[in-house]
Structure 1
Amino acid sequence: MKALCWHGKNDIRYETVPDPHLEHPRDAIVNVSSCAICGSDLHLYHHFIPGMESGDVVGHEFMGEVMEVGAEAGDLKVGDRVVVPFTITCGECDQCRRGNFSVCERSNRNKALADKVFGHGGAGLFGYSHLTGGYAGGQAEYVRVPFADQTHIKVPDSLSDEQVLFLGDIFPTGWQAAVACEIEPTDTVAIWGAGPVGQFCVRSAVLLGAEQVVVIDNVPERLAMAEAGGAITINFDEESVLARLQELTHGKGPEKCIDAVGLESHVPRSIDSVYDRVKQAMMLESDRAHVLREMIYVCRPAGILSIPGVYGGLVDKIPMGPLMNKGLTVRTGQTHVKRWTDGLLRLIGEGQIDPSFVVTHTAGLEQGPDMYNTFRDKQDGCVKVVLKP
C-alpha cells in the first residue's frame, strides 16, 4: 500500500509500505477514505517529538470503511463506516472506566519506555512516535486499528467525510479545552492560536455560552475564519495583546485562557521567543513557551488556563510566582476523544455545527509531502488539509 512516511526533519515521503494485517483478535483493518494533516504533525515534521524512527507511517486523523475484523472486535463489522480516535483505548483499565481515555493503561505497547520519560506514560497514539506505542498512522491507504472494539466511532452515511472526520481529534480537542474552562455566561475566553484546534475552541466556547471569545494570531485568513465563528480577533503583529485584552475586559483580564499553540509558539519581536530559540539551538530547552507565559500574565486572578496545545519536553522561565499568587488553575492533557464524541456527533447531526468549515485544501495522498510544506508555511490561505488516499 501507499503511505506517508517520516524520514527526519522536514522529510515526509510518499512510499510503498507493507499492507497491515490482523495481529490480535480485537484488531480491525480500515480502508482509509479521508485523513488530515494536524498541527501536531508539524511537531513531528520539525523533529521536536522524540522517539521517531525513519520510515514510520505518520498521521492520526483518519476515517474509512472496515475491511476486516478480528474474532473479538465486538459489534464492529465489515462495511461499517468509522472515524478512528487518535487515542487508542482498551475500554477496560481503571483510567478508561473513568473516561480518561488518553491515559489508557494498556494501549501503549512501549509503556515502559514512556514511563521512563514521563514518569507514567499515556495511551497509545496512531502515528506519533515510539513513545506512544510506535503504531503506524493513518496517512495511508489502510490502517490496523488495535482494540478496535473500543477505538472507533460509527458514523452515518448521511454525513460527509469532511463533516465527521474531525471527530477523531481536533473537534473533541477544542471542545475539551473549552469544557475545561468551566465557562460562565459572563466570561471572556481568550484563545491563543487560530489554527484548526483554535478554530474549534472558538466554536466550542460560543456553543458553551461565553459572553465574548477573543482569538490571538497573526495570519489574516485564520483570523477571518475565527471572526466568522463569532470571535473578536487580535493580530499580534499589529497591536498589543495585553492592551487590547485590558480594553475588552475593562482592565480585569480574561477569566479563561486557552493555549491552542503548544511547543512551537513564537512572536518574532519578543525577547522570550528569541531566548527560547537560542536555548533550543543549544539543546538546553525543547519547547517554546511564549503563549504559556503570556496567558499566566494576562489571566484574571482565580481564572483557568486550559492547554490543549502539545508540549513534548522541557520549558524554561515559567512564571510560577504569578501563577501561584493569582490562584490560577491549569488544566491540560491529550484529548479523551470517546468521552465527547456521542454528544458532538449529535450536534453535527442537528446542524448546530458543520466541522467542514475548517477545510481549505483537499488533495490526493500522493501530494502529502507538498501539502505538509503548504500547511507549515500557511501558504495559499491554508488552515486545514484533507488528504484522499
Structure 2
Amino acid sequence: GECFYCKRGYVNNCTSGGWMLGCRIDGGQAEYVRVSYADNGLTPIPDNVSDEQALFVGDILATGYWAAKISEIFEEDTVLIIGAGPTGLCTLECVQLYQPHNIVVCESDKSRRHFVRQHYPNVKVIEPTKCFDFLKSITDSRGADRVIEVAGGEDTFELAWRCARPNAIVTIVALYENEQILPLPWMYGKNLTFKTGGVDACDCDKIMQLISEGRIDTTHLITHRYPLSRIQEAYDLFANRTDNVIKTAIYPD
C-alpha cells in the first residue's frame, strides 16, 4: 500500500506482489496459499452476495470491468467484443453497464454463439468470417467505435483493428502465445488508439457493489460444478472444452 503504484491506485502493479502471485509466483491453485499483504488486497463479500456470485470478482470479472472502463464507451457507440469465452462474457456483462447503441459479439465456436443468444437476446452475435461485413452494414460502413479483443486467437488481433472505424479505441485483453505485429503502413490514416495490459483488479469493491445491487450477474457462466475430490475431471472437461462448458466451480467434499 505504500509503493509508487499503490499510492496512485494501481495496486495490481504493486512492486511487492500484485499480479505476480499466480503469474510469476507459482502456487495460486495449491492446497494452501500464502497471500502477501492480503490486508491490502481482500474485498469483503456483502451479506446478500453468494459465494457463486462473488466467485469471478478477483479475476475474469475484474478483467472485463477494467476492459470496459478503459474503452471509454458512449451510449451512441457500437462495441465489438471478440471472444465469448468466460472472460469475454464477463466483459460483455460490464460493457452492458454503459448501455451502448449496439453490442456485437464475435465468436468462432457455435455452442458459445448459442450461449450468448440464449442469455443475451439484445446482443448481436456473429462468426469471424462475417464480422467485418456485418459491422459495416450496421454502422454506415464505418466499423466499430470500440473493439475489445478477448479471444487471443491466431488472427483475432488483426480482426480487431480491421473492424475498428477510424479514430476508434481498440482494447487488447487477450493473452497471445505468439508475438503480434502492428502493421502501421496498413492502418495508416485509421488513427487508432490501442489500450492493453494485464488485468487491473483495483475495482473489486465497485464490482462487488454492482453485484450486490443486481446490476451484474455471472452465475449463469457456471455450467458445471464438481466436488474437490473430482477436480481432475473438472480440469479435463475445461481443458478439452467438452459438454459446452463455460466455467466450472469446485466445492469442498
User: Same fold, TM exceeding 0.5?
Assistant: yes
RMSD of aligned Cα (Å): 1.9
Alignment of 1:1-389 (within 5 A): 91-107=1-17, 123-128=18-23, 132=24, 134-137=25-28, 139-227=29-117, 228-229=119-120, 230-236=122-128, 239-262=129-152, 265-266=153-154, 290-311=155-176, 314-315=179-180, 317-338=181-202, 340-389=203-252
Contact (CA 8 Å) 2:94, 2:216: kept in 1 or not?
no
- Give a deviation string over 1:291-345, Cα, whole Å, max 9, x none: 1111111210000011111246633x4322244531111111112212x122211
Distance 1:380 1:205 in 2: 27
Question: Residue 103 of structure 1: CA displacement?
Answer: 1.9
Secondary structure of the corresponding residue to residue 163 of structure 1: helix
Distance 1:296 1:99 in 2: 30
Secondary structure of the corresponding residue to residue 34 of structure 2: strand
Secondary structure of the corresponding residue to residue 15 of structure 2: coil
- Give a deviation string over 1:52-76, Cα, whole Å, max 9, x none: xxxxxxxxxxxxxxxxxxxxxxxxx
Distance 1:97 1:196 in 2: 31
Contact (CA 8 Å) 1:140, 1:365: kept in 2 or not?
no
Distance 1:241 1:365 in 2: 40
- Distance change (3 Å), C-alpha of 1:367 and 1:125: farther
The structure that has the greater radius of gyration is: 1
Distance 1:221 1:165 in 2: 23
Distance 1:379 1:310 in 2: 22
- Distance change (3 Å), C-alpha of 1:100 and 1:223: same
Long gaps (5+) in structure 1 = 1-90, 108-122, 267-289
Question: Residue 232 of structure 1: CA displacement?
Answer: 0.6
Amino acid at match of 2:126: I
Normalising by structure 1, we get a TM-score of 0.61
* Identical amino acids, percent of aligned pairs: 32
Distance 1:299 1:261 in 2: 16
Long gaps (5+) in structure 2 = none
Contact (CA 8 Å) 1:371, 1:385: kept in 2 or not?
yes
- Distance change (3 Å), C-alpha of 1:370 and 1:172: same
Normalising by structure 2, we get a TM-score of 0.91
Count residues in correspondence: 250
- Distance change (3 Å), C-alpha of 1:329 and 1:380: same
